[in-house]
Chains A and B, each alone.
Chain A
């Protein structure tokens, strides 16, 4: 419905292009200039520097041996490193698990909180609390929850299974470490998606729901036929953002598992961080950064292309 309007504005716009003064053009430039300037200085420039470094053997602490250009050697080493591919697989695994969990829960909560009539403010704040907790604190708390053998998670497990399932070493087991991180990440971050969904839900006029109520449609039907389709743009946005966020997983892994056990929770950003900050090999680290960037870019383009087809239908 709004598509037609947009088309008409485009044509209206081009007709009134002649009405846009040089004054307007100037304003346009001035409005986007600060952002561009800052993005260039603080994002692009260091990134370009990083690319340059990726072709050298630069170390963290500059020494008497001059940094030299070594071409693609870093890249070759990375691509033949088993740890790198494991990290790649891990973030893919993580994304596949966390996206449905986190976004699904966020959508459900946003839906409930949107239609609430009583105690709106309090409940919204309540459910948003995990997100405002700094990751450092989140990891500390969840570390104790996952403690083996008598952390809270294990106590719950034993209670729920009536003692049949023994305590699990959550963060130390190759099978469960990643799911454990998925759970705590979803817990911490679902607030982000929930807020965006809330914003998107606000844009759906109440009258439509009221009309549906009168027509006798129940909650589920309303969700399926009103809410979900109207959230198309929001969903696309959320999917893209969450995917990129998931592929950049780092802090939890860095604090809780350091990529272990046996590399089952190693992520690409952690790989980058380890080789740079810990192993002190800046050139190598920069090369893996670039590879990560290309990977995410690729996934993003694929997502964008397939989803924009959806959007335009």
Chain B
């Protein structure tokens, strides 16, 4: 027994050390966030400036969430923000009024499909309850740290939780700490229970089908896309957990039969005792009609609107990237150290300030982190290919000073891809 406890303590110590190493290695770095412009998949003729989104030609018969109007407005807003086209949503368009000799325009049409479901039900699990002072505290703490649902057994208030790898490790660590401090038992009493709980799964779905047609001397469809996005959330109603069968209660009932250690009881003499009857749900959760769409009771209006906005943006992004040069957010790690502390400036997006600060340092005195952060400042505030060339040069300087640094190499890789795309992008955004 003693040797087992010793082994157990050594294991715990090693687990602690591993956890410390991992946590310290995973401290989040400071990130600089900036935007870069990337070319569209197809190159649209440069003389095309005006785009009309025709609401009358957008089919919304299966738009159960009623997102058509929001989706069209958002499409217009996003395309306008890219600066390539002047986009407006129109109720209809008399194409005869367009003088194809003078200008060409484009029309976006298609369809919107959306929907959602609330799926309710009951599930079963088996939980392990821990007794003793140390056992109860460590089990409750492990459950709290890992967001597990806790129930108390009806006998002595043992703390019951389902258990998972991380929470089990947490419980072992805490209970061993208690045991080492003499505040708890090395092996606390355990009792397994069958529990039931209720859940509610919410899902939302949105799909946009759009085509992009040029109306000029000839009518030509340049792009057609269908893109969808979905949201899913599983909500376990923590207050709905109920212990419906506890092993200790059965053991008490059978107490007279138990006289020594490790006695398996097969079979249980009473049929009623051997059945966790309440784990069988009475209710049917699927009926002969579609599941309801999430209401305000299921998703607060503010959150639902936010989610719908996310779905809308996601369904639109591929279509936008197909027809228009677009801006993309880049998160790049800021180097620590160097002659000047520019970490906060880069984090706050003050790239020009960083350039000023680092460029004051004579080139020969700059450290690798200075070169890298200077490259990052040039990349973040780039307005021409030359800026990317400079950034690339500075990243290479950093890498030469400190070979083997991953973030410096990543800088070189990023600037390479911008420069490779530059010719296509320049063609798309000229004039």
A, B in one complex: no
Residue ranges of B at the interface with A (Cβ–Cβ < 8 Å): none
Residue ranges of A at the interface with B (Cβ–Cβ < 8 Å): none
